[in-house]
Every structure is written in structure tokens, then in C-alpha cells.
Chains A and B, each alone.
Chain A
Amino acid sequence: MGLFNRHSFARGIHPEANKRTSETPIRRLPFAPRHILPLNQHIGKPAVPLVKSGQEVRRGQPIARADGFLSVPLHAPVDGVVEAIKLAPSARGPWVESIVIRTLEGSPQVQHWGEPCDMDALGPQEIIAAVQATGMVGLGGAAFPSHAKLTIPEGRKIHTLVVNGCECEPYLTCDHRMMLELADDLIAGTRHAMRAIGAKQAIIGVEDNKLDAVYALRQKLPQDGSIRVQAVETKYPQGAEKMLIKSLLGREVPAGGLPSQLGVVVNNVGTLAMLGRLLPLGQGLTERVVTLTGPGIDRPGDYWVPIGTPLRHVLAAVGSDNGAQVTAREVILGGPMMGQAIASLDIPVTKGVSGILVMLGPSLKEERGDRPMLPCIRCGECLNACPMGLNPSMLGLLAGAHEYDRMGEEYHLGDCFECGCCTFVCPSNIPLVQQFRAAKTILRDRAQI
């Protein structure tokens, strides 16, 4: 409900979109010889293995079960043999317990597993149980178990399901392609989710740089008018839950609160499209669409990648050997604003990986403007950028003085969701959001003592 009736939120930034892969249809990658499936790909308790070393598994077969409510099962991404259950490197750094599957060569890799079910016959609780059985997590990058998100706290009523098709991160196009190519699945998944949470309406919010997706989805909407598609301003971080709710409904989620307090639940388009595809078949999540892009990739595009495929295999398949003159590269899981740079290519693609971005040394320097850090000149750009209305300039000064308690108590550090807008705009190259991340960790550690 912007000034000129353009649906949006206050402040934010306009980074260059670089969505070079939005025109290319989703393609497939060959299977890797080995798949590595960490047991903790989701937020919550790690899954518990159901298989033993040496056991043969079929594509789609559950290989680990959920451990309690905030946990999801894992499914074998390929026909193969469990080689080991051992520690393997993870994106976050520490090695984690993982199931390693050696792919059976020559196997047709058709998914037979799963029992089709009539979704319309299920009640809300049964839908939520079915969602958990698929092993679905938020595919936008959060990797929060989807069934937990669809479980509404006691006493709250949900009226609206917000479907997040913003994809505001530069470079990424996987959600865009899925909206175009999996529109039917997305609408079906949206209806299942609406029934699970008891929402009367659903709004699919799409940034207005993807109007082809808006039109494609509008062709598929059900007649009863319960689902509508709304174009919102192309602006980072439009895809943040709180920003999108503000843009679509004009309401602000209370500081420190959850969307369900406003009667809203937000889900990512990719998540709902996959649910719409998997739920009726009774199958588990074995693959996802990943955007492979950046200056360091020869054949960029959106690809179906089996969960557990090592990055080394993915990058080899799309070509990332750009000759000898490249001296340094950065491999990022997710988008360039919030994604994580990784140190090893032995890390597998997990459920929460929406993109793999390879930046090269020289172009990286130009794009990042690698220049020395200067003192804050109080230009105020960060205040004009922060979507949460914080004062990053002051927070940065306090971080420099190690005044972490004041950051939390007086300057609302806890409301920062680390979108990175402040660092992006800072003309003094101050690593603001990086300092805030560190400060949050310190405050969390202190609280635990």
C-alpha cells in the first residue's frame, strides 16, 4: 500500500538483479556417483537413520525418520547402496553425521516409492502429518520444517496464507521458473496448505519484475476466488516474511512476534509447489530446483538437483573451470545478499539450498568494491536502507565499542534479521551486518551462562 498504490514496504535497497537464468527452462543434472545426506538438513532435531551400512536402498525410500515434532525424515535420492553413516563436512563448518549412498550404475532411477492418496479426503491434522512424511522444509533457504509452520498455535485463527514468490535475492531464479513451469502444482499445494491451516484466502506475492509468472499463475487460479496473485514492488528484501506481509496486507508483524499473531502464515512458492507435487503421490522430497549461476559458471541455469549431490559434481556438470587466469573464487550457497560462502566442494546440496553462486576473483573485487574500511561519516544511508527501521550507524559504533548490551536493549539489535542492506550501502565499507551477527552470538552466549 505504497504512496503511489504500489504494494511495498518502507526503505530497502535496489541491487542489480542479475537474473540471467530466468529465461531458461529447468533442466536435469546427471546423477553423481555418491550422495551425502546430512541428518540435520533442517532446523530442529536431526533425523534418525533407518538404514545400515551396506544396505541397498531405492529412490524415494525413507532412510531416516523424524525425531519428534520439530524434525523431518530423509528419503534416498537415488537407487544405491548405503556406503557409510559417518561424519562429513557441512556448509556451516562443523562435520555432521551423514548417510553416504553410492549410486547404482545403470539404474533407471524411476521413483516407484510412495503410496498415492486422495488429498481431498484428509483433514487438517492428517494433511500436516502427510507434509511431515514428505520431509518438506522451507525451500527458500530457511529449512524450517514445513509441517511445523503449518501447525497453528492453540487459540490463534489464521485467515490468510501468504505465498512468497518474491525471490528478491539477486541472481536466483529457481522460484521464478517453478512458478512458470509448476504452476498447477503450486496452486494444488496452496490449496492443501490453506486447508491445513484453515485459511479462507491465499495471496501469492510476486515481485513486479516477474510479470510473466503473475500472468501464468492467474491463468490457473481456481474459480472460487480464494487465491489471488498480487504483484509487489521489486525491492530487496521484499521476500522477507514481515516485509511481504506489510506489502500485501498493510500490517506490521509486532516486533519480536510471529505472523500468526496477525492471522497470517507465509510459505515459499517452491515449498508449496513441491508439496502440491509430492503429497498426492505420497512421495518424499528427493530433489529440488537449484539456480546455478554467477560469473564462475559456464552453463548457468535452473536445474533439478538430487538432494545430497556434492557441489564438486554439480559444478563439474555445469562447467566452472574458467581458465588459468582466475586466481580466486567464492562459492556461495543461496543468494548474494544472505547466502553463505563455503570452504569445501565436498559439501552436498541440501534441502535448503536455493542457489549455488560462483563469483570469480577479478569480477568479485569489482562487484564488492574491495576497499579499505573508513570511519563512519554518518551519512545515514544505512538508516534509509534498513527495512526494520533500525539505526545501523549507531549499532555499528556500539559494536566497535563492544557495547553489546546497549545494542540489544536500547537499539533493538534483536529485530535485525541480517538482510545485509546496511553493509550493502555503506560508503565507508563498514561490515555492519557482520558485526551485528557477531554481537547477537555474543549476547546469546551470555544469556546462556
Chain B
Amino acid sequence: MTMKTRIELRSAPHIKRNVQVDEIMLHVVLALLPIMIFSFMQYGISILALALVVTGTCLLSERWFNWMAGRPSTLGDWSATITGLLLTLTLPPSFPLWMGAVAAFAAIGLGKMLFGGIGLNVFNPALVGRAFVQAAFPVSISTWAPAYLPGRFTEFIPSTLTLPLMVPPDIGPWIKERLVDGITHATPLARWKFENQLTAAADMLTGVATASVGETSAIIILVCGIYLAIRRFLDWRIPVAIFGSAMLLALAFHLYEPGRYPPPIFVWLSGGIMLGAIFMATDMATSPVTPLGVWIYGALIGVVTVLIRYFGGLTEGVMYAILLGNVLTPLIDQYTQPRVFGARRKGWGAS
């Protein structure tokens, strides 16, 4: 027999499952799109412009950092796109575009490329960007425009188009002109904390309530998350642990003093916990890999979220809770090494 073809040598295994990193990431992008479309329906062209600027800046920043380091482009793995979309969803709809670009640059630069790029980052990049602008622009990050304003598809919220390095205008009067019933435009969490008013659960579920872009529709986020979990692109244990621990702690507080602390369902539906638990805490690079570690990490985030909301100066605690969980991830991993087959005890303390 003639064998003119080349013989290739490789070491086993010679077959491989055909699921790739970019495929996982692409599915996350696809799962985020319905949420983005829903917020477009709520806030119109302002949010569309914000999403384009933030995501575009993320992509450009990553390409620029790669070019500086003399590395090939890593845009094809979709992770910068995810960071851009997630970051958009944590910002107020009226956020000035130039501040969004700053947030995006901080997210990619400080949150990701500084550590060496995908997989090596310690913190969720989107949350790093969000935390950066929380400190840099405290007024704009806590100014909220209500959803479903008339004319949202034809005109921008005035603060959106603020010139770079300029202070955005006060949008209060602008909103009052457009609102007939004159309801307040504080988020459900702020209304509870500062005005002691509970927002109806139905409003929070369907996005009538005022909040940051991605906080406002619990149901649609949940559905997208379930899709990812079924396709095994997302670790379902993390959101379950977060919701479980937050719920239990909130329930304990509510039973202790019902007048002061809201019912547990409020904890689930308000603020960014839905988006944070499903899309941010589950970021693979910054969450534990061990089976036990995943539960500990999730429970920790749930508890810290509730504690910050109830006792901290801020209305929202998910962001800092997740960042805290991120920084503890290596430690959690180290002390929850799985039990090796045939070993007598758990592999605790592999150090």
C-alpha cells in the first residue's frame, strides 16, 4: 500500500468536545440581547446610544491594549462585548455618554487588561467600570429618569448628550414637563430606604419601576438566565445560592421587625440582584471552580448584599458584594478542594 499522505503525531486524547470559549461567550451575548431590547422599549434612543458608546469603547480599549502589548486581537472571544453590554445594564438610562465611555475604558483597562486579559482578571470587569464611575460621578450615577416617557424614541434625555468633561444638566424639570401624574423618580430601593415606601412587586417584575437599565425587568433576566443554565453556559448554583441566602436573611429581618424591613420578595426583585446574581456573579473567571466553593461564594454574596442594603449608606449592595466575592474566590477555591477519589477525608486546606 502506498502511503503518500502525511502521518500526524499527537498525544492522546485524539478527540475533543467541540465547545469553545467563544461559543460560550457568544451565547451570553445572545442572552443579553433580549434584555437590551427590553430596555430600549423602556428608555428609547438614550439607552441605545449608551449601549453603543459603552460597548464600542470596551472593544476599542481591548484592541488598543492588545496592540500596545503586541498581542493578537482578542475581540473574537466576545468577552469585551459582554463586558460592554453588562456595564450598560448597570448604568442609569440618563447617564452621559462621555461618562459611559470612561466607565468602559476603566472596565477593560483596570478590570481586565491590567491583569493580563481574559481569564486572568480578579474582578468582574463590568463591575470595576461601574465602581469607578460610582466614585467619579456620584451625582450622575444616582440620577434616574423614569421609564416609558413619551417621545423616548425621538429625543434624547438631555443629560445623555452632555459634552465630554462637562457637568450634565439637571433633568428634573425636563422630566416634570413630560410626566402627568408627577410620580417620583427614585428607585424602588431608594424609595424604601429614604421614604419608607414599598414599590409593588408587579411593577418591579415588568419594568415600570425606575432603576438602572438592567435592573428593571426581573422576569426577562430570569428567562435569559435559565436559557444559559439549560445550555450549561452558566453555573446555576451561584444564582440559586445568592437568592437563597439573601432570601433567608431578609426573611429573618422581616420576621424580626416587619414594619422596618421589607418582605423577602422585595430583595429579589429590587435593585441589581437579579442581573448581578445571574450575569455578573457567574462570570467564570472570577467565581470559584470547586463544587463546595461555588455555594459558599454565592451565599456570601447574598448575605453581603442584604447587609449593605439594610445597614450601609448606599441603596444598592450587589456590586460591592460581588466584588468582595471575586476577591475571595482564590481563597475559597484553595480551601474547598474537591475530595480526591479514594482519599479518606475531604481535601481541606490543600495549601
Contact = CB atoms under 8 A, between A and B. Distances in A.
Nearest to A415: B340
B341 interface: yes
Contact of A327 (B6, B17, B351): B6
A22 B19 CA distance: 28
Interface stretch (A72-80, A152-160, A192-200, A336-344): A336-344
A371 B21 CA distance: 11
A330 B342 contact: no
A355 B286 CA distance: 43
Contacts of B11: 340-341, 431, 434, 437
B5 A326 contact: yes
B231 interface: no
Q: Which of B5, B9, B10, B350 has the most CB of A within 10 A?
A: B5
A321 interface: yes
24 contacts: A252-B341, A254-B344, A255-B342, A327-B5, A328-B5, A328-B7, A329-B8, A337-B15, A341-B8, A341-B9, A341-B11, A341-B14, A342-B9, A343-B7, A343-B9, A371-B20, A377-B118, A378-B284, A378-B285, A391-B337, A410-B351, A411-B337, A424-B16, A427-B23
Given A336-B14, A424-B13, A428-B21, A375 B340 contact: no
Contact of B1 (A252, A254, A312, A377): A312
Interface in A96-113: none
Contact of A252 (B12, B19, B118, B342): B342
Interface string A343-380: 11100000000000101010010111101001111111
B235 interface: yes
Nearest to A431: B11
Interface residues of A, number: 74
B2 A321 contact: yes
A211 interface: no
Contacts of A410: 350-351
Given A369-B18, A375-B119, A380 B13 contact: no
Given A328-B8, A423-B16, 12 more contacts: A329-B5, A330-B8, A341-B12, A364-B8, A369-B18, A376-B119, A380-B294, A390-B338, A390-B340, A411-B337, A420-B12, A423-B13
A230 interface: no
Nearest to A375: B119
Interface of A: 13, 15-16, 170, 242, 246, 252-257, 312, 315-316, 320-321, 326-332, 336-345, 357, 359, 361, 364, 366-369, 371, 374-380, 383, 387-391, 393-394, 410-412, 415, 418, 420, 423-425, 427-429, 431, 433-434, 437
A255 B9 CA distance: 32
Contacts of B230: none
Contacts of B120: 375
Interface string B168-180: 0000000000000
B340 A389 contact: yes
Interface string B49-93: 000000000000000000000000000010000000000000000
Contacts of A340: 11-12
B258 interface: no
B13 A420 contact: yes
A105 B3 CA distance: 26
B289 interface: yes
A84 to B, nearest CB: 23
A237 to B, nearest CB: 11
A391 B8 contact: no
Given A341-B8, A345-B3, A369 B341 contact: no
A433 B339 CA distance: 19
B289 A257 contact: no
B290 interface: yes
Interface in B325-351: 333, 337-344, 347, 350-351
Nearest to A170: B15
A344 B344 CA distance: 45
Contacts of B307: none
Contact of B342 (A338, A415, A423, A429): A415
B9 A375 contact: no
Contacts of B119: 374-378, 428
